[in-house]
Amino acid sequence: MATAPTPYWQAWEGQALVVGPGGLGLALAAELARRAPSLRVRTAGRRGADLALDLNDDGSLERFSAMAARDLTPLRVVINTAGLLHDGTLQPEKRLSQVRRHALERSFAVNAFGPLLLAQAIEPALAKDGPVHFASLSARVGSIGDNRLGGWYAYRAAKAAQNQLLRTLAIEWQRRLPQACVTLLHPGTVATPLSAPFSGSQAPSALFTPERSASHLLDVLEGQTAAGSGAFLAWDGQAVPW
């Protein structure tokens, strides 16, 4: 009688890191720990996390990199959920007249530069002798080909920039870390503070809980290998246009 194959995540050993301990980040960390009991899952962020990390602070990134190389090896899974759409002084633009330099700079700092600088910081800790996942949340509104409504200049452009930066990273890692897989993920509309002001028009079936979105996203990552590194995928595994 044939032996059933070991479920994907249960075969992984080492360390895992979820950056951005908001609702979706915490749900991803919990679901990953459930699926991969041999992985030690840690969270990182400015507050409410196991480890201190500010993606906008070079000193924080340097300290985190040194710590990761010492304490987080071998790092097998990294998922970045940090993102910025709005806060007390920042709102998505509806028209050109609302565009402001400071909003563009803040959005790019978190949504575009942050994921790439995170990859730079954790690279020394990545496993060299087995498969590695590096995933980051993008957004369908960052798709240039799928842009039908306009508006949201800063957020759209920053997410599109993240897509290009991490696609470029995937190509580099194919040469230097051939077992690494980089994936950009569109999580759907998730019931978190980031989407709350804009989810009122969503049908209940289209608004995911963090736990449901986390399960979908890990299902997608389970289907990804180094051969498909650099993909931009939605929560259901479908490719999103660049």
In the chain, what's the furthest Cα-to-Cα distance? Answer: 69
**Number of residues that make up the chain:** 242
Cα 133 to Cα 33, 37, 99, 145: the distances in Å are 15, 17, 35, 26
SS3 of 76, please?
strand
pLDDT for res 3: 45
Rounded Cα distance between 103 and 153, Å, is 10
pLDDT for res 205: 60
**pLDDT tens track for 165-214:** 999 999 999 999 999 999 999 998 887 665 555 555 555 566 789 999 99
**pLDDT tens track for 66-93:** 999 999 999 999 999 999 998 878 899 9
Residue 37's nearest CA partner among 7, 4, 81 is: 7
pLDDT for res 237: 96
Contacts of 32 (CB under 8 A, 6+ apart): 9, 16, 18, 39, 41, 77, 79, 218
Please state the pTM of the whole predicted model.
0.92
Rounded Cα distance between 162 and 77, Å, is 19
Contact between residue 17 and residue 5 where contact means Cβ atoms under 8 Å apart: no
**pLDDT tens track for 1-27:** 444 445 677 778 899 999 998 899 999
Contacts of 126 (CB under 8 A, 6+ apart): 74, 75, 78, 132, 134, 177, 180
pLDDT for res 89: 81
**pLDDT tens track for 47-70:** 889 999 999 999 999 999 999 999
**pLDDT tens track for 113-164:** 999 999 999 999 999 988 999 999 999 999 999 999 999 999 999 999 999 9
